[in-house]
């Protein structure tokens, strides 16, 4: 009550108006009122309140001072308030402009007015400045400059504001060349923080690339360069294309509606479009079913189409605004040379002559000729030339996928694909300008196509372009991937397959099958030879095969690798599939292609290459295994019980057979020889090249029931992220389990005492009579409750494979990652009386794919359908019963 009495009556009245006004606007929004209108109405509401509060200050002043206040002060709305785009919980930017030289004399008015604004309960950005102070601040601070570029007087002395506005514009006009880079740099820094790509799957609708801030950037750049911020006036002056203005307005209307809804939904300023909000908004829009696409994927596709348009327009407009070298028209003939009358090639750029521009406006082949030339010369294409291409392609009808391309266009495109120099950059521009879909029509389907899962971070088209960019950067890589990439002769086949590999997404059928058909269609359209078409089809069809083998199967298993070698068929195709797989993983999101996965894929590549280089892969594999066993037997020469060691070596599975050099393998077996049936021993080794710790545990199978799930529980409780596991049963009931982990509490190699602590926990898990359920310790590094809540929308799946492995049923579990998940799964497998022989744990962002090679306790495959369904139901129930966080 006392607090209310201290608040000015005008503020109390304004608060009531604000609450009623917001509620009224919420109803208008829910009834379908366009976002721009809701924002304008809210701006009017706020403007009325701010004016009333200023008038209250005047009314409270002594009568003889009131006219003086009106004469010396004016209230200026700027930023979103100035351009009349206020969202329901936006902050309000107000400047009290005054002409009183003495700050002390102006202070009482400033204090009272600012206090009224803050008491209103809004997030207020308030400043009080003279004309000279405001202009001086704007010339020094980019944020102030851009904010004041969208100003209007709402109360007080309009002539004072006009004086400020005229002087401000005059200073900006004089200094635009210095001011312009600051505006671009500030926006670039903001995009880096909030999302540099428009295809970020949880974007900030205001600050991420292509969002509202980029639309505002057009206004700021226009004001700075041309003295005008209104896009309509910029279009009338010829600085914006008519089609660009139309797209900017459509994007603004959509994004303002979206931001309004986020604010109303959360009752506060909220600009993050996370997965929960995406699902809610998609349901709210009640979109009709579309084959192969979820409603949320349809909604986000529309979002990305708008933000993509904004990005392209902003890039083009920013280039137009940048200052040109003043004497370039004199120096150009001296520093450039003409190419066939149509192009001029300079030190850094290539551009079209007037003759070349005229040809380009009517012929797609000329566009490809230019792009191919830019790639061969490794030059950037001039902005004016790109602008002509944008205008020309917008007039072209959609391409017919059944029609073959003109031979000259096909040759030029294939020539472009064969050179990595600027390929990634040029393909990205061709995609942005809709040229790429004129060549490969199926590309249009993937434009802005979202995959609503926790695995992919980008849309399909952005993922594809990033994959191509990764490939072309391999030309400078000093490791095995770079060596392989540089050795590939048919780079155009590789790059084409990379472009096509995910074109089958967004359909009901498996995308690899759809992609294979599209690859065949594209091969015919481009006039590829039969061999090139078949190679492209195989790479697209099998683009996931190598990744799945390395991450989900036992690549030390002879049968698995021999089968893969037969599928690939040739060393050259293997080379292309290897680097294509690396690029595919790298383009999923930051950190997805880690050292561990790269090493696994490289091992599989080398292993398969050796087989393909022999006359018979199966014979070569048998010979390799026999040679390895002979090597191990030779290493037992200095041990006392060679007969025991030989017996163990004869039954070693491949994963243990090649687990280190011969001396290391025999030394580990010797450790096991000294064990008693009631003992367990654990040891560790840090593998720097993979940035993982290998923990090995030796014991007898009779020591305790459920050895594997107890060990996984011990590791998880010690905050070890398990990447892979091998469960090996040797002769005489000996068990040798290996786990490859990364310590969540350390970056790089954990200290020796930490590794000893984990080893003790592993031994105690098997030798201590009853430890109860393990506890999984959390730290601030774990995902938040909010992140975990989104996972409830991701389906948990269990699948079975009885074809890949001769002796095992392969169980794959697809689930959202959380602490204790692996323990829950392995415990359920134990309770189902299944024996686990191999485990592969793949984590992709927030999604895991855990794969287990299992048999019955008697060592048989599980083939009965009822039994398989029982296993599926048990695993799903166990996972679903876990807490969300």
Residues 466 and 571 in one domain: yes
Boundary of a domain, candidates 176, 207, 236: 176
Which is higher by pLDDT, 28 or 723?
A: 28
* Cα–Cα dist 41/583, whole Å: 49
Confidence (pLDDT) at 792: 45
* Residue 51 within a domain: yes
The tally of domains found in the chain comes to: 5
Residues 707-738: tens digit of each pLDDT: 888 998 899 889 888 887 888 888 888 888 88
pLDDT score of 885 more than 70: no
* Residue 243 within a domain: yes
CB distance 243 to 251 below 8 Å = no
Residue with tokens 């090679």: 853
* CB-based contacts of 621, cutoff 8 Å, min separation 6: 558, 561, 562, 611
Termini Cα distance of the chain: 42
Q: What phi and psi, each to the nearest 5 degrees, are found at residue 395?
A: -95, -10
* Residue 326 within a domain: no
Residue with tokens 């004001």: 223
pLDDT score of 45 more than 90: yes
Residues 59 and 145 in one domain: yes
**Model confidence at 785, in pLDDT bands (50, 70, 90)?**
very low
Residues 210 and 77 in one domain: no
Residues 155 and 280 in one domain: no
For the segment 834-852, the average pLDDT, to the nearest whole number, is 73
Which is higher by pLDDT, 553 or 548?
A: 548
For the segment 404-430, the average pLDDT, to the nearest whole number, is 92
Confidence (pLDDT) at 615: 59
Lowest mean pLDDT among 242-246, 330-334, 495-499, 765-769: 330-334
Describe the crossing of helices 103-119 and 35-60 by its angle, rounded to 10 degrees.
130
Confidence (pLDDT) at 621: 66
- CATH classification of the domain holding 164: 3.30.460.10
pLDDT score of 237 more than 50: yes
For the segment 372-386, the average pLDDT, to the nearest whole number, is 85
Confidence (pLDDT) at 452: 63
* Residue 867 within a domain: yes
pLDDT score of 787 more than 50: no
* Cα–Cα dist 723/742, whole Å: 7
Residues 257 and 363 in one domain: no
For the segment 849-859, the average pLDDT, to the nearest whole number, is 86
DSSP string, 478-529: -SHHHHHHHH-S-HHHHHHHHHHTTTTTTSSS-HHHHHHHHHHHHHHHHT--
State percent of the chain over pLDDT 90. 49
* Cα–Cα dist 704/769, whole Å: 9
Confidence (pLDDT) at 677: 87
**Model confidence at 620, in pLDDT bands (50, 70, 90)?**
low
**Model confidence at 780, in pLDDT bands (50, 70, 90)?**
very low
* Cα–Cα dist 220/228, whole Å: 9
Residues 311 and 386 in one domain: no
pLDDT score of 845 more than 60: no
DSSP 398: P
**Model confidence at 464, in pLDDT bands (50, 70, 90)?**
very high
* Residue 558 within a domain: yes
Could you tell me the sign of the dihedral formed by the alpha carbons of 663, 664, 665, 667, in that order? positive
* Cα–Cα dist 518/520, whole Å: 5
Residues 281 and 346 in one domain: no
* Residue 277 within a domain: yes
* Cα–Cα dist 803/618, whole Å: 18
For the segment 412-436, the average pLDDT, to the nearest whole number, is 91
CB distance 306 to 314 below 8 Å = no
Confidence (pLDDT) at 771: 61
* Residue 879 within a domain: yes
Residues 281-308: tens digit of each pLDDT: 998 888 887 877 888 888 998 999 999 9
For the segment 533-557, the average pLDDT, to the nearest whole number, is 88
pLDDT score of 752 more than 60: yes
Which is higher by pLDDT, 696 or 883?
A: 696
* Cα–Cα dist 709/827, whole Å: 5
Residues 10 and 157 in one domain: yes
Could you tell me the sign of the dihedral formed by the alpha carbons of 585, 589, 592, 595, in that order? positive
Confidence (pLDDT) at 152: 96
* Cα–Cα dist 223/225, whole Å: 6
Boundary of a domain, candidates 613, 632, 651: 613
CB distance 750 to 774 below 8 Å = no
DSSP string, 665-725: HHHHHHHHHT--TT-EEEEEEEETTTTEEEEEEEEETTS-S-HHHHHHHHHHHTTEEEEEE
**Model confidence at 546, in pLDDT bands (50, 70, 90)?**
very high
Nearest to 85 by CA among 318, 308, 226, 257: 257
Residues 69-100: tens digit of each pLDDT: 999 999 999 999 999 999 999 999 999 999 98
Residue 350 C-alpha from the chain's centroid: 32
- CATH classification of the domain holding 850: 3.30.70.260
Range of the domain at 232: 195-321
**Model confidence at 783, in pLDDT bands (50, 70, 90)?**
very low
Which is higher by pLDDT, 701 or 38?
A: 38
CB distance 707 to 834 below 8 Å = no
Confidence (pLDDT) at 362: 83
Confidence (pLDDT) at 786: 39
- Per the structure block, which two tokens stand in for 217? 């950037």
**Model confidence at 789, in pLDDT bands (50, 70, 90)?**
very low
Q: Hey, what's the torsion of the CAs at 301, 305, 310, 316, to 10 degrees? A: 140
Boundary of a domain, candidates 586, 613, 640: 613
pLDDT score of 18 more than 80: yes
Sheet holding 73-77, edge to edge: 124-129, 92-98, 73-77, 152-156
Other beta carbons within 10 Å of 385:
22
Lowest mean pLDDT among 86-90, 243-247, 424-428, 801-805: 801-805
Residues 397 and 473 in one domain: no
Residues 363 and 230 in one domain: no
DSSP string, 153-210: EEEE-HHHHHHHHHHHHHHHHHHHHHHHHHHHHHHHHHHHHH-SSTT-SS-BTTTSTT
Residues 511 and 548 in one domain: yes
Residues 95 and 29 in one domain: yes
């Amino acid at each position: 009550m006392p607090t209310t009495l201290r608040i000015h009556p005008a503020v109390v009245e304004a608060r009531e108006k604000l609450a009623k006004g917001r509620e009224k606007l919420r109803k208008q929004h829910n009834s379908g009122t366009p976002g721009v209108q809701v924002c304008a109405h809210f701006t009017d509401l706020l403007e009325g309140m701010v004016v009333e509060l200023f008038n209250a200050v005047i009314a409270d002043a002594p009568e003889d001072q009131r006219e003086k206040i009106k004469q010396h002060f004016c209230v200026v709305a700027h930023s979103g308030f100035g351009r009349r785009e206020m969202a329901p919980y936006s902050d309000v930017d107000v400047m009290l402009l005054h002409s009183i030289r003495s700050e002390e004399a102006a202070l009482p008015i400033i204090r009272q007015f600012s206090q009224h604004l803050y008491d209103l309960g809004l997030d207020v950005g308030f400043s009080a400045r003279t004309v000279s102070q405001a202009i001086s601040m704007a010339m020094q601070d980019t944020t102030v400059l851009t904010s004041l570029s969208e100003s209007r007087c709402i109360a007080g002395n309009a002539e004072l504001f006009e004086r400020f506005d005229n002087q401000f514009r005059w200073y900006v006009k004089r200094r635009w060349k210095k001011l312009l880079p600051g505006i671009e740099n500030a926006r670039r820094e903001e995009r880096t923080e909030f999302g540099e790509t428009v295809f970020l799957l949880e974007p900030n609708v205001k600050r991420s690339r292509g969002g509202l801030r980029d639309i505002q950037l057009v206004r700021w750049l226009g004001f700075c360069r041309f003295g005008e911020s209104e896009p309509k006036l910029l279009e009338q002056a010829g600085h914006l294309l008519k089609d660009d203005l139309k797209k900017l307005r459509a994007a603004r209307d959509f994004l303002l509606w979206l931001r309004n809804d986020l604010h109303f939904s959360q009752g506060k300023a909220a600009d993050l479009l996370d997965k929960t909000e995406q699902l809610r908004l998609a349901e709210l829009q009640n979109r009709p079913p579309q084959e192969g696409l979820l409603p949320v994927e349809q909604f986000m596709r529309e979002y990305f189409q708008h933000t993509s348009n904004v990005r392209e327009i902003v890039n083009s407009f920013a280039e137009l605004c940048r200052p040109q070298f003043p004497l370039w028209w004199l120096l150009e003939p001296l520093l450039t040379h003409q190419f066939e009358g149509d192009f001029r090639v300079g030190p850094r750029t290539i551009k079209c002559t007037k003759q070349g521009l005229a040809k380009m406006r009517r012929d797609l082949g000329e566009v490809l000729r230019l792009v191919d030339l830019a790639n061969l010369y490794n030059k950037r294409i001039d902005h004016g030339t790109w602008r002509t291409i944008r205008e020309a392609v917008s007039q072209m009808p959609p391409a017919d996928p059944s029609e073959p391309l003109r031979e000259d266009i096909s040759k030029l495109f294939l020539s472009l694909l064969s050179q990595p120099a600027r390929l990634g950059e040029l393909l990205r521009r061709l995609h942005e300008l809709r040229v790429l879909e004129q060549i490969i029509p199926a590309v249009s389907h993937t434009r802005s196509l979202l995959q609503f899962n926790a695995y992919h971070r980008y849309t399909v088209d952005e993922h594809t372009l990033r994959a191509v960019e990764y490939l072309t950067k391999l030309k400078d890589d000093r490791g095995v991937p770079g060596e392989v990439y540089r050795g590939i002769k048919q780079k155009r086949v590789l790059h084409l397959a990379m472009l096509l590999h995910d074109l089958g997404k967004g359909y009901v059928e498996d995308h690899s099958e759809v992609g294979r058909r599209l690859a065949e269609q594209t091969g015919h359209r481009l006039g590829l030879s039969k061999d090139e078409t078949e190679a492209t089809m195989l790479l697209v069809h099998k683009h996931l095969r190598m990744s799945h083998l390395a991450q989900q199967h036992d690549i030390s298993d002879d049968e698995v690798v021999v089968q893969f070698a037969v599928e690939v068929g040739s060393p050259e195709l293997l080379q292309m599939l290897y680097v294509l797989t690396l690029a595919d993983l790298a383009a999923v999101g930051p950190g997805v292609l880690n050292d561990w996965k790269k090493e696994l894929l490289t091992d599989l590549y080398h292993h398969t290459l050796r087989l393909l280089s022999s006359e018979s892969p199966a014979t070569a594999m048998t010979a390799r295994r026999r040679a390895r066993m002979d090597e191990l037997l030779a290493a037992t020469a200095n041990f006392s019980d060679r007969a025991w060691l030989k017996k163990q070596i004869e039954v070693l599975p491949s994963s243990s057979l090649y687990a280190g050099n011969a001396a290391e393998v025999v030394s580990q077996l010797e450790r096991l020889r000294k064990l008693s049936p009631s003992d367990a021993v654990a040891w560790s080794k840090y593998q720097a090249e993979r940035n993982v710790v290998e923990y090995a545990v030796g014991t007898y199978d009779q020591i305790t029931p459920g050895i594997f799930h107890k060990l996984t529980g011990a590791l998880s409780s010690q905050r070890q992220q398990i990447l892979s596991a091998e469960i090996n049963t040797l002769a005489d009931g000996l068990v040798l389990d290996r786990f490859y982990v990364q310590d969540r509490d350390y970056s790089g190699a954990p200290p020796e005492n930490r590794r000893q602590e984990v080893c003790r926990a592993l031994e105690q898990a098997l030798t201590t009579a009853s430890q109860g359920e393990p506890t999984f310790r959390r730290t601030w590094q774990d995902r938040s409750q909010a992140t975990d809540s989104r996972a409830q929308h991701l389906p948990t799946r269990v699948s079975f494979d009885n074809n890949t492995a001769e002796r095992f049923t392969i169980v794959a579990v697809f689930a959202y990652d959380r602490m204790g998940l692996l323990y829950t799964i392995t415990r359920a497998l134990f309770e189902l009386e299944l024996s686990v022989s191999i485990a592969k744990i793949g984590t992709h962002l927030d999604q895991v794919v855990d794969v287990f090679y299992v048999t019955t306790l008697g060592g048989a495959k599980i083939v009965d359908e009822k039994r398989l369904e029982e296993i599926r139901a048990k695993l799903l129930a166990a996972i679903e019963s876990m807490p969300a966080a």
